[in-house]
Amino acid sequence: MTTGPEKSDRPLPKRFYNEVSVEADTPQGPQSGGAWNLSLDGRPVRTPGKAALAVPSGALAEAIAEEWRAQGEFIDPESMPITKIVNTAIDGVTGREKEVAADIIAFAGSDLVCYRAEKPLELVVRQKEAWDPVLRWAQDALGARFVLAEGVMPIEQPDDAIHAFASAIEGCGALELCALHVMTTLTGSAVLPVALARGAMSAEAVWSAAHVDEDFQIAQWGEDEEAIERRERRSKEFQAAARILETLAIG
């Protein structure tokens, strides 16, 4: 699952609107089962699939509106990561929730935080400090006891751990699942994003934990400009997904 097309050299469309507004479709708002809708100069915003761009949280709707308001003379989709994820959730995840959840659960079966280096000692220590706490949280809060492996040889996680983890995301809607899936694919971990969604870790802590190996290599060998730009792009997408979860306050 992707959150949108790759960046292209096609000309950007010109901004065609002045005012961006957010309205609840019921007087009581989403707490009463309503949704928040966006409009541009009074016209409803629609997804690429022509569905209404409506979300169940006023805070999320305002976050999307901020991206539309921030556009200059041209509309740059790359500067609208929250909108892209929400579009993907509405057009690509709605009706496929079980399939997307299964993909996240599959990541948990080979989660980044379970695969440990044998050496050097400095990296072993960094991984332990960053990853052991979240695994203890998963065991205590979710009932999911994951086992560890050294090196890259695959291991099979206990069925009880996978079932407990699956229960933690059971009932999540398309938006939550899409945000979790984005963060899982960006980090290589399903456990870390769920810890964020449950309030056990901050977005910054999750991003840092997901890059223990990469940061160690950078400290040893340095970093090139292309790698820096790639990480910045991925970070923006990650932060957008994290903000969606924060506005929905799942768990």
Six token digits for residue 85? 């994820």
- Residue ranges, comma separated, of all CATH 3.30.2180.10 domains in the chain are 20-80
- Residue ranges, comma separated, of all CATH 1.10.3580.10 domains in the chain are 97-248
Q: pLDDT tens, 109-134?
A: 999 999 999 999 999 999 999 999 99
Q: pLDDT tens, 3-59?
A: 654 555 679 999 999 999 999 876 544 444 468 999 999 999 999 999 999 999 999
pLDDT of 104 above 70: yes
Question: In CATH, what number does 97-248 get?
Answer: 1.10.3580.10
User: Where are any strands of DSSP class E within 9-50?
Assistant: 20-24, 36-40, 43-44
The pLDDT, as a whole number, for residue 7 is: 54
CATH topology of domain 20-80: ATP12-like (3.30.2180)
Of 82, 84, 97, which Cα lies nearest the Cα of 174?
97
pLDDT of 250 above 50: no
Q: Which residues pair with 55 in a beta bridge?
A: 36
pTM, rounded to two decimals? 0.91
Rg (the chain; Cα; Å): 20
Q: pLDDT tens, 207-229?
A: 999 999 999 999 998 888 888 89
Of 121, 113, 197, which Cα lies nearest the Cα of 161?
113
State the amino acid at position 145 in one-letter form.
Answer: R
Average confidence (pLDDT) over 70-77? 95
